[in-house]
A and B are shown apart, each in its own frame.
Chain A
């Protein structure tokens, strides 16, 4: 698999009146061609800052302290503003969170969807509008031809998010960054938008970075998952590895806090405490104070990534050979057991089909 985007040791600070807020503290990840990578974490964990640094759209008080973002043999962090503008909305496009506020209220939607084509000199005005119509049909705006001249307030929230998606894909971007694209929508519309994104990925062969705080959404769309906490990635792996064989206590907490049809306890679990203040990040593992499995070393030294499988890594001292063996929470154990059963079923199914093939 080829890496289309490679982020290495990214560190970003924000200068505030109170001091330097260390929003991103050494983040590395990569995006493979054609896959969907979900970045999961609670508010303030640095998900949005990470993707905005890829787009070069950080706030004015942000300072990139270290790192590289490699895209097609170029380091995006070292590119000048002009060259970045050529990539934005063209090779890398972004879908925003709130469809109610992310469309220009005084511009017809046809023009807004056609805009990226015109900016990047891909088409004449007439051709661009024609292409806008096509893309709007593709994202499910009915009767797009007659709606090109309509304004955003004439559409519902779900339709507007479809229009925002149309603007992002109109140039067939190689990377599509979706920053919580379903958070502002109600649940039925959420499902439709996720379905649409999956369909589009097949059709335009793009790679997606999907930002969310909702693990339920991740399960349906992602190939791989990176879990972020306090400006760092704490665990990453394939979607099955994260959901059924998580290793980091923070991932355990997140999964535990997500109700499933099989949840039988009366109360919904919540991770105790609050995330640390990144003005003065704690020494050691930032999650330690909220971690019931914390050991002394968690308060002293930052855990490195320990390899679980070739695709699965977790930054927790629990994986150190010298660490005591702990049993994860009951709900997580059940997940693992379910996974083993699933895996077994798959294998037997595969064997059977093999046998059938031979006959």
Chain B
């Protein structure tokens, strides 16, 4: 297993290198320049700025310089946010985004698995219909609508939570719920489909024939076997949530990273785009690795085949 993980980490670094390279060149192909009010700047001024940021060099040289910097852990300096180093910018803003994202993914997938399982067990009854209805609502209504509704009723009308403030756990509850709706709905749908399949399988009938009650059968045999495909979708969803949601963060005034991600692209803030892309990709490949290891823990057949490969 240790050897397997080491090998995977090697691939992981290679993947990140390719992503960084591709992003760098694609980014340079984007139209526009980092100077927002370019019209007011003279050609001289632009030249000076270009020189200062190294943008006058050929693209391949810029690439070498950037990559060399990366090896030393230097992500460059943001063009727009008060000339902060990108690493500092990310470090100071990733915390709240990741906290809310993690809370949302745990809440969403946890409740989603439960809801999906119940819907499958009570297939074609009113319970199933209600669960399906909520799943469709959760999937089709955007999270910022939930955010506003929650904010209005629970925070503004009832005063149970702060309206828009970043101060401790209680202020993270509403954005967590708003963000959790989509993963909850997706997980519930996946779980229901999978569980219906599993509940129809021979080994479930055999489990009943052994004298298990319906609930024992689900807990001991059906749940684990239904989880295998569900784990696949949890990974990418988790990364999406952890790198922040611009709109939800705006609504609740959370000093997160979601907003920066969008702004950096519209303003051609090259170092920030690169930094965030590398962060996003790193999270994604690490989560995929974790998911693959989880697979092995859930499904012994996969565990064995990965051991054979190595």
Q: A residues touching B (Cβ–Cβ < 8 Å)?
A: 55, 57, 81-82, 85-90, 93-94, 96-98, 101-108, 115-116, 119-120, 151, 153-154, 164, 167
A residues less than 8 Å from B209 (CB atoms): 55, 57, 88-89, 93-94, 96
Q: Are B225 and A105 in contact (CB under 8 A)?
A: yes
CA A82 to CA B216, docked complex, whole Å: 12
Q: Are A104 and B210 in contact (CB under 8 A)?
A: no
Q: B residues touching A (Cβ–Cβ < 8 Å)?
A: 201-203, 205-213, 216, 220-221, 224-225, 298-301, 304
Q: Are A106 and B202 in contact (CB under 8 A)?
A: no
Q: Are B210 and A119 in contact (CB under 8 A)?
A: yes
Do A102 and B211 form a contact, CB below 8 Å, given A151-B301, A153-B301? no
Q: Which of B203, B208, B210, B220 has the most CB of A within 10 A?
A: B210
B130 to chain A, nearest CB (A): 20
Q: Are B300 and A106 in contact (CB under 8 A)?
A: yes
Do A105 and B202 form a contact, CB below 8 Å, given A57-B208, A88-B209, A90-B211? no
Q: CB < 8 Å: which of A102, A105, A119, A120 contacts B299? A: A105
CA A119 to CA B209, docked complex, whole Å: 11
CA A87 to CA B225, docked complex, whole Å: 26
Q: CB < 8 Å: which of B203, B211, B299 contacts A116? A: B211
B residues less than 8 Å from A115 (CB atoms): 207, 210, 212, 220
B residues less than 8 Å from A116 (CB atoms): 210-211
CA A93 to CA B206, docked complex, whole Å: 10
Q: Are A102 and B300 in contact (CB under 8 A)?
A: no
Q: Total A-B residue pairs with C-beta atoms closer than 8 Å?
A: 78
Sort A-B residue pairs by CB-CB distance and give the 3 closest, nearest first: A89-B211, A89-B210, A151-B300
Q: CB < 8 Å: which of B203, B208, B220 contacts A103? A: B203
Q: Are B206 and A96 in contact (CB under 8 A)?
A: yes
Q: Provide a sorted-by-A list of 25 A–B residue pairs whose CB atoms are within 8 angstroms.
A: A55-B209, A57-B205, A57-B209, A86-B211, A88-B208, A93-B209, A93-B210, A96-B202, A96-B206, A96-B209, A101-B203, A102-B205, A104-B203, A104-B225, A105-B225, A105-B301, A106-B300, A107-B224, A115-B207, A115-B210, A115-B220, A116-B211, A119-B210, A120-B211, A151-B300
CA A214 to CA B205, docked complex, whole Å: 24
CA A105 to CA B302, docked complex, whole Å: 11
B residues less than 8 Å from A151 (CB atoms): 300-301, 304
Do A167 and B211 form a contact, CB below 8 Å, given A105-B300, A106-B298? no
| Closest A residue to B212 using CB positions | A119
B260 to chain A, nearest CB (A): 42
A1 to chain B, nearest CB (A): 27
A residues less than 8 Å from B211 (CB atoms): 85-90, 116, 119-120
B residues less than 8 Å from A89 (CB atoms): 209-212
| Closest B residue to A91 using CB positions | B211
A residues less than 8 Å from B212 (CB atoms): 85, 89, 115, 119
A residues less than 8 Å from B213 (CB atoms): 81-82, 85
CA A82 to CA B215, docked complex, whole Å: 12
B residues less than 8 Å from A119 (CB atoms): 210-212, 216
Known: A88-B208, A106-B224, A106-B298. 8 other contacts (CB 8 A): A89-B212, A94-B206, A96-B202, A104-B203, A107-B224, A108-B300, A115-B220, A153-B301
Q: CB < 8 Å: which of B203, B216, B300 contacts A153? A: B300
B290 to chain A, nearest CB (A): 19
Q: Are B205 and A96 in contact (CB under 8 A)?
A: yes
A314 to chain B, nearest CB (A): 33
CA A82 to CA B210, docked complex, whole Å: 13
